[in-house]
């Protein structure tokens, strides 16, 4: 097939998918014995067809997402002629394949798949990611039936409230506002597509299906469809609110989650955002590489940061709070200086979490995760995902780095305010001198959200749900 039998630590196996410019092969990771899926793209063809930005957008977006219902990208390897995208292997194939022989699903099966789809969408939208091409071909199934969202080649990364303009997606699943050539809300467009999928799962056929594209778009813009006779009133009520042609009155994800039909046997799934840094250097390197043999991407490590600040912190005349306390408005990261021992600082974090009604779990000696204590009222879930890491720079000087990866900004601000108060009060009580050294906030942006470039069409198809962009 023109490919080497080994790519780095991966042993290539049989082809499990093939598109116009790409193949997807099953591969074995020789270091742990686990299977992965490797998408192999012809670099020359990608460049020639101006798909570089689209491929890079898909890779970057999927690297930023870590959820049990979203396909993960492990790494990207580039050679002189090929780009190898190493992904999580999902053995069950596309949801579309199962729908071909299953026809329609039972209510329980359809609801479970829809719940997982909504959780994945909720996770993406909270991070400013809008898929824009949701359909059964882009939803994979694991061997245990877990749904996995894939193919982010047409996705958009935007700040909350920003409107989109590029018309994209698959005709039968596209929202009316895209047909009318208006700017649109990416979240509302994804919700519409999810409603079409739910209808198809329960009915065994699409709500909008015409041989003529103009006739199809007319029905979509007017939301003209007919429920099969076996649909229950609860199903009809929910789908009618999802397939609302007016995006302003269309049901939102939080409202879907509160729905009684949706709530039955519902077990929420949340993102697994860790505190490890996400490195995107290999994305550009894959396109720029001219070497046939590539080594594994190495994560840079820095050991000088803390040591340098340990020396500075030894001076009693220096107030480090101006250096440590900062907030990133986009990513919601905050660093706060603490003039206490690391043990005292950890206790103060726990106390601040309690004040903000958050549950705390330590992930190691100096790092902890905080989540909202779940109070379910028909599943109105108010959740937050905060991590805090304490870095010791001197025996009585620490830095607390707080980051919010998901959830309500209000809860995050409450926690930061409580922690700042806890640290300041303790400092004032322990030493009169420290009263004049209260922590002052110095806000500056430390990183920007990447604005992904949009594309009008997708020319690559993949038969197993692993996007070839």
Instruction: Please report the pLDDT score of residue 219 as a whole number.
Output: 93
78, part of any domain: yes
The answer on 35 and 129 residing in a single domain is no
The answer on 159 and 73 residing in a single domain is no
Assess whether pLDDT exceeds 50 at residue 14: yes
Between 133-142, 343-352, 408-417, the lowest mean confidence (pLDDT) is in: 408-417
What mean pLDDT do residues 314-336 have? 51
Q: Sign of the C-alpha dihedral, residues 30, 32, 38, 44? A: negative
Question: What pTM does this model have?
Answer: 0.61
297, part of any domain: no
What mean pLDDT do residues 84-101 have? 89
- The tens digit of pLDDT for each residue in 253-285 reads 999 999 999 999 999 888 776 545 555 555 666
Instruction: Please report the pLDDT score of residue 166 as a whole number.
Output: 78
The answer on 125 and 64 residing in a single domain is no
DSSP category for residue 243 = T
The secondary structure element, H or E, covering residue 74 is strand 73-78
Mean pLDDT over each residue of the chain, to the nearest integer: 76
Residues with Cβ within 8 Å of residue 252, at least 6 apart in sequence: 187, 188, 191
For residues 270 and 406, what is the distance between their CA atoms, to the nearest angstrom?
Answer: 10
- The tens digit of pLDDT for each residue in 336-387 reads 888 888 888 888 888 888 888 888 877 666 788 877 765 444 444 455 678 8
Place 92 in a pLDDT band, splitting at 50, 70 and 90: confident
The answer on 217 and 117 residing in a single domain is yes
> Which of 208-217, 226-235, 404-413, 430-439 is the most confident on average?
226-235
The answer on 73 and 126 residing in a single domain is no
Tell me the pairing of strands 358-364 and 156-157: unpaired
State whether residue 255 is helix, strand or coil: helix
Place 301 in a pLDDT band, splitting at 50, 70 and 90: very low
Which residue in 122, 133, 185, 385 is the catalytic one? 133
Identify whether the C-beta of residue 419 lies closer than 8 Å to the C-beta of residue 389.
Answer: no
Instruction: Please report the pLDDT score of residue 297 as a whole number.
Output: 36
Establish whether 133 is a catalytic residue: yes
> Which of 25-29, 234-238, 445-449 is the most confident on average?
234-238
The number of folded domains in the chain is: 3
For residues 31 and 34, what is the distance between their CA atoms, to the nearest angstrom?
Answer: 8
Identify whether the C-beta of residue 290 lies closer than 8 Å to the C-beta of residue 155.
Answer: no
Burial class from Cβ neighbours inside 10 Å (0-12, 13-18, 19+) for residue 396 reads middle
For residues 160 and 128, what is the distance between their CA atoms, to the nearest angstrom?
Answer: 6
> Residues marked as binding?
39
What mean pLDDT do residues 105-122 have? 95
- The tens digit of pLDDT for each residue in 212-264 reads 888 999 999 999 999 999 999 999 999 999 999 999 999 999 999 999 999 99
What mean pLDDT do residues 430-436 have? 41
Identify whether the C-beta of residue 189 lies closer than 8 Å to the C-beta of residue 177.
Answer: yes
253, part of any domain: yes
273, part of any domain: no
The answer on 172 and 29 residing in a single domain is no
Instruction: Point out the domain boundary residue: 288, 323, 355.
Output: 288
135, part of any domain: yes
Given strand 326-328, what is the order of strands in its sheet?
326-328, 333-338, 397-407, 384-394, 367-372, 358-364
- The tens digit of pLDDT for each residue in 391-404 reads 877 777 788 888 87
Domain containing 165 — which CATH number?
1.10.510.10
- Structural domain for 382, as ranges: 304-437
The answer on 131 and 51 residing in a single domain is no
Structure-model confidence comparison of residues 280 and 119, the more confident one: 119
The answer on 251 and 143 residing in a single domain is yes
- The tens digit of pLDDT for each residue in 51-60 reads 777 788 788 8
Instruction: Please report the pLDDT score of residue 127 as a whole number.
Output: 87
What mean pLDDT do residues 433-439 have? 38
407, part of any domain: yes
Domain containing 388 — which CATH number?
3.30.310.80
The answer on 378 and 347 residing in a single domain is yes
For residues 164 and 85, what is the distance between their CA atoms, to the nearest angstrom?
Answer: 28
Residue recorded with tokens 């962009």: 469
The answer on 29 and 112 residing in a single domain is no
174's tokens: 């596209």
The answer on 119 and 31 residing in a single domain is no
Residues with Cβ within 8 Å of residue 34, at least 6 apart in sequence: 28, 89
DSSP category for residue 113 = H
State whether residue 315 is helix, strand or coil: coil
Place 408 in a pLDDT band, splitting at 50, 70 and 90: low
Domain containing 36 — which CATH number?
3.30.200.20
> Residues marked as binding for ATP?
39
Instruction: Please report the pLDDT score of residue 338 as a whole number.
Output: 84
Assess whether pLDDT exceeds 80 at residue 200: yes
State whether residue 17 is helix, strand or coil: strand
Pick from 133, 178, 128, 132: which is nearest to 157 by CA? 128
The answer on 59 and 144 residing in a single domain is no
Residue 221 vs residues 166, 176, 211, 259: alpha-carbon distances, Å: 17, 5, 16, 25
272, part of any domain: no
Assess whether pLDDT exceeds 50 at residue 298: no
Q: Sign of the C-alpha dihedral, residues 287, 290, 294, 298? A: negative
What mean pLDDT do residues 137-153 have? 90
Alpha helices in 212-291, H assignment, sequence order: 213-222, 233-242, 253-258, 260-263, 281-288
Assess whether pLDDT exceeds 90 at residue 434: no
Residue recorded with tokens 């250097």: 281
For residues 96 and 87, what is the distance between their CA atoms, to the nearest angstrom?
Answer: 20
332, part of any domain: yes
Place 73 in a pLDDT band, splitting at 50, 70 and 90: confident
The secondary structure element, H or E, covering residue 108 is helix 107-126
Pick from 114, 310, 98: which is nearest to 195 by CA? 114
């Amino acid at each position: 097939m023109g490919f080497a039998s080994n790519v780095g630590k991966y042993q290539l196996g049989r082809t499990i998918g093939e598109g116009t410019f790409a193949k997807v092969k099953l591969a074995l990771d020789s270091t742990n014995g686990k299977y992965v899926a490797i998408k192999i793209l012809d670099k020359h063809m990608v460049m020639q067809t101006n798909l570089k930005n689209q491929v890079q957008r898909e890779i970057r977006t999927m690297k930023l997402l870590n959820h049990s219902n979203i396909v993960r990208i492990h790494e990207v390897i580039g050679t002189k002629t090929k780009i190898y995208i190493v992904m999580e292997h999902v053995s069950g194939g596309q949801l579309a394949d199962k729908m071909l022989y299953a026809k329609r699903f039972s209510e329980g099966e359809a609801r479970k798949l829809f719940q997982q789809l909504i959780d994945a969408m909720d996770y993406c939208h909270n991070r400013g990611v809008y898929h824009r091409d949701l359909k059964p071909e882009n939803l994979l199934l694991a061997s245990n039936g877990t749904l996995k969202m894939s193919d982010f080649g047409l996705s958009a990364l935007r700040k909350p409230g920003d409107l989109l303009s590029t018309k994209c997606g698959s005709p039968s699943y596209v929202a009316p506002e895209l047909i009318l050539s208006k700017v649109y809300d990416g979240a509302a467009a994804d919700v519409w597509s999810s409603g079409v999928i739910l209808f198809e799962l329960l009915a065994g056929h699409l709500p909008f299906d015409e041989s003529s594209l103009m006739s199809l778009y007319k029905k979509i813009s007017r939301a003209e469809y007919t429920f099969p006779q076996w649909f229950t009133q609860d199903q009809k009520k929910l789908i009618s609110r999802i397939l609302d042609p007016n995006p302003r009155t269309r049901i939102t994800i939080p409202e879907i989650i509160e729905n009684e039909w949706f709530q039955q046997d519902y077990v929420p799934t949340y993102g697994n955002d860790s505190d490890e840094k996400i490195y995107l250097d290999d994305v550009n390197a894959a396109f720029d590489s001219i070497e046939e043999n590539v080594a594994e991407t190495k994560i840079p490590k820095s050991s000088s940061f803390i040591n340098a600040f340990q020396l500075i912190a030894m001076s009693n005349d220096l107030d480090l709070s101006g250096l440590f306390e900062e907030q990133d408005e986009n990513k919601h990261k905050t660093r706060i200086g603490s003039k206490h021992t690391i043990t005292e600082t950890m206790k103060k974090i726990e106390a601040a979490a309690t004040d903000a009604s958050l549950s705390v779990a330590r992930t190691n000696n100096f790092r902890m995760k905080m989540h909202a204590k779940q109070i379910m009222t028909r599943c109105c879930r108010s959740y937050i995902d905060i991590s805090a890491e304490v870095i010791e720079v001197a025996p009585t000087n620490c830095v607390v780095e707080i980051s919010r990866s998901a959830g309500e900004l209000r809860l995050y601000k409450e926690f930061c305010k409580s922690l700042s108060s806890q640290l300041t009060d303790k400092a004032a009580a322990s030493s009169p001198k420290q009263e004049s050294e209260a922590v002052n906030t110095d806000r500056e942006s430390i990183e920007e959200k990447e604005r992904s470039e949009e594309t009008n069409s997708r020319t690559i198809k993949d038969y197993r749900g692993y996007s070839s962009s």
